[in-house]
Structure 1
Amino acid sequence: MSWLGLKKAINRAGTQVMLKAGQIEQTVDKEFEFEEKRFRVMESNSIALQKKLRSYLDSLKMLTKSQLNIAQLLDSFYGQESQAPHTFENPMNGEEMELFKNLSGEYFHILQKLNTQVIGDLEHPYNQTVLNPIARFNSYYVEINEAIKKRHHKLLDYDAMRNKLKKLIDTPQTEYSNYDVKFRELSDELVETEQKYFDINQKLKDELPKLVNMRVAFFDPSFESFVKIQLRFFNENYQNLQQLQTKLDAKTKQDYAEGKLDDKIDDVLSRMKALDITGKDNHIA
């Protein structure tokens, strides 16, 4: 920071202290305050939205990854039957076991596809049409906040100069040998600082509402794309899993119609209770 910049920063800090203490009359622009408040609400919401949209894509990846992990374990679980010693009569016949082994393997391959191909196909359009546009929109906040900060500095300079001139006017002219010269100098400085403040203040009052109102037209295409990408993702999941569901439902409905479903569950539970490892009288020394 240059010496001039440091001097201005010190003067503005002193002005802020006197403003808080009520020693300087503060300039208030209700119109600007209203527009800045609207801008702050939009800024907060759009930054939060960007974070949530980024985490949404990560959530889809986590979802498909979790599904794949479960499918892999199920496939291994059913696959152990062929290697397990047959110490008691299996409640399922060979045809049923083969069916469920095949279904668990098919389920695993479906989830592999969803985890790689479907997510891969969605990620690029999601970044291009949803994440990148909102990131670009939010990047403008840096420049806008710099302008608001500059306006604040110009306002401090303006209020400080008004206070200096007021003090001079309230002071008896007899205390100054060059009162007229001093008055002209402060008046000229006040006109200059006033113009700088009014220029940036008016510019922000004109531009901030335009930016806030622009958000709808800017985000509308991204919102539409977000909905379509969601629809595509869940349609892909539904269509792939529906094929497997049809095969599972056919067997389940057949067992239910023949009264076998409850009997099978009860039979397995009774066999588990009969095992030594679940016996009530079995104790570990």
Structure 2
Amino acid sequence: MSWIGLKKAINRAGTQVMLKTGHIEQTIDKEFEIEEKRFKQMENNSILLQKRLRSYLESLKLLTNSQLNIGELLNSFYGNEKPDSHILENPNTGESIETFKNLTSEYYATLNKINNETVKDLENPFNQTVLNPIARFNSYYVEVNEAIKKRNNKLLDYDAMKNKLKKLLETPKIELIDQDTKFKELNKELNESETKYMEINNLLKKELPKLINMRIEFFDPSFESFVKIQLRFFNEIYFQMKNLQIKIDAKTKQDYIDGILDDRIDEVLAKMKQLDITGKDEPIE
């Protein structure tokens, strides 16, 4: 920072303190304050939206990856060993263990396809039509905030000059020999600072509403794309799972609908409790 810039920063800091303590009269523009508040609200919302959309994509990846991990465990649960003859079939349904092995293997393959292909097919259009546009829109906030900061600095300079001129006018003439000369100098500086402040202030009051109103036109295509991408993603998962579902035996599906499947699970759990695996009568060494 140059010496002039440093001097201005110090003077503005002093002006801010005096404004807060009420020693300097502050210039207030209600119209600008309303537009600035609207802009800040839009900025906060769109930045949060960008974070949530990025999180949404990561959540889908975590979801499909978790499904894949479950599918892998289910696939290995039945093992690769050849089952014993007395457990080749389920006594309730007549289904062979080998049938379940084939189903879980296909289930794992389906989830692997979803995780490696469906999600990847989703990621590129999601980035191009949803994430990247909002990131580009949010990048403009840096320049706008710089303009607002510059406007606030010009306002501080303007209020400081008004205060200097006011003090000069309140000083008795007998205490100042060249009061008229100083008045002309300060009045000139005041007019210059007012012009600089009014230029950027009026520009922001004109342009901020335009930027705020642009959000609808800008985000509409991305919102439409976001809905279509979700529809496509979940439809693909639905059809892949549906193709797997029809391979499950009709009796198991009907038992699930009738609530009998839960009773069968409870029956198996009850039988497991009756197993004397630990050898209760023998001490554990």
Deviation at 1:177, TM superposition (A): 1.3
Match of 1:234 in 2: 234
User: What one-letter code is carried by the residue in structure 2 that aligns with 1:242?
Assistant: K
* 2:79 aligned counterpart, secondary structure: helix
Deviation at 1:179, TM superposition (A): 1.1
- CA–CA distance in structure 1, aligned partners of residues 82 and 101 of structure 2: 13
User: What one-letter code is carried by the residue in structure 1 that aligns with 2:204?
Assistant: L
TM-score (norm 2): 0.91
Match of 2:210 in 1: 210
Structure 1 unaligned blocks of 5 or more: none
* 2:72 aligned with 1:72: yes
Deviations 1:77-136 (A, max 9, x none): 0235x356x497566268521221111011101001100111111111100000000000
- CA–CA distance in structure 1, aligned partners of residues 277 and 69 of structure 2: 29
Match of 1:137 in 2: 137
- CA–CA distance in structure 2, aligned partners of residues 232 and 151 of structure 1: 47
User: What one-letter code is carried by the residue in structure 2 that aligns with 1:173?
Assistant: K
More helix by share: 1
Q: In 1, are the aligned partners of 2:88 and 2:96 still within 8 Å (CA)?
A: no
Match of 2:23 in 1: 23
- CA–CA distance in structure 1, aligned partners of residues 31 and 269 of structure 2: 74
Match of 1:158 in 2: 158
* 2:104 aligned with 1:92: no
Moved more, 205-214 or 240-249: 240-249
Deviations 1:210-251 (A, max 9, x none): 111110000000000000011011001100001112222624
TM-score (norm 1): 0.91
* 2:103 aligned with 1:110: no
Q: In 2, are the aligned partners of 1:91 and 1:264 still within 8 Å (CA)?
A: no
* 2:172 aligned with 1:172: yes
Q: In 1, are the aligned partners of 2:26 and 2:159 still within 8 Å (CA)?
A: yes
- CA–CA distance in structure 2, aligned partners of residues 235 and 74 of structure 1: 24
Deviation at 1:63, TM superposition (A): 0.6
Match of 1:43 in 2: 43
Moved more, 166-175 or 145-154: 166-175
Compared CA separation, residues 156 and 30, structure 1 to 2 (3 A): same
User: What one-letter code is carried by the residue in structure 1 that aligns with 2:90?
Assistant: M
Q: In 1, are the aligned partners of 2:87 and 2:97 still within 8 Å (CA)?
A: no
Structure 2 unaligned blocks of 5 or more: none
Compared CA separation, residues 259 and 38, structure 1 to 2 (3 A): closer
Moved more, 96-105 or 251-260: 251-260
Q: In 2, are the aligned partners of 1:151 and 1:201 still within 8 Å (CA)?
A: yes
Match of 1:187 in 2: 187
Deviation at 1:176, TM superposition (A): 1.3
- CA–CA distance in structure 2, aligned partners of residues 199 and 206 of structure 1: 11
- CA–CA distance in structure 2, aligned partners of residues 9 and 188 of structure 1: 21
Say what the alpha-carbon RMSD is for the aligned residues. 2.5
Q: In 2, are the aligned partners of 1:276 and 1:282 still within 8 Å (CA)?
A: no
* 2:90 aligned counterpart, secondary structure: coil
User: What one-letter code is carried by the residue in structure 2 that aligns with 1:40?
Assistant: K
Compared CA separation, residues 205 and 257, structure 1 to 2 (3 A): closer
Deviations 1:160-205 (A, max 9, x none): 0000000111111121111111010000000000000000000000
- CA–CA distance in structure 2, aligned partners of residues 115 and 19 of structure 1: 59
User: What one-letter code is carried by the residue in structure 1 that aligns with 2:119?
Assistant: I
- CA–CA distance in structure 1, aligned partners of residues 21 and 198 of structure 2: 25
User: What one-letter code is carried by the residue in structure 1 that aligns with 2:76?
Assistant: S
- CA–CA distance in structure 2, aligned partners of residues 171 and 257 of structure 1: 94
- CA–CA distance in structure 1, aligned partners of residues 141 and 249 of structure 2: 54
* 2:262 aligned with 1:248: no
- CA–CA distance in structure 2, aligned partners of residues 255 and 279 of structure 1: 35
Moved more, 143-152 or 245-254: 245-254
Overall identity of the aligned pairs, in %? 68
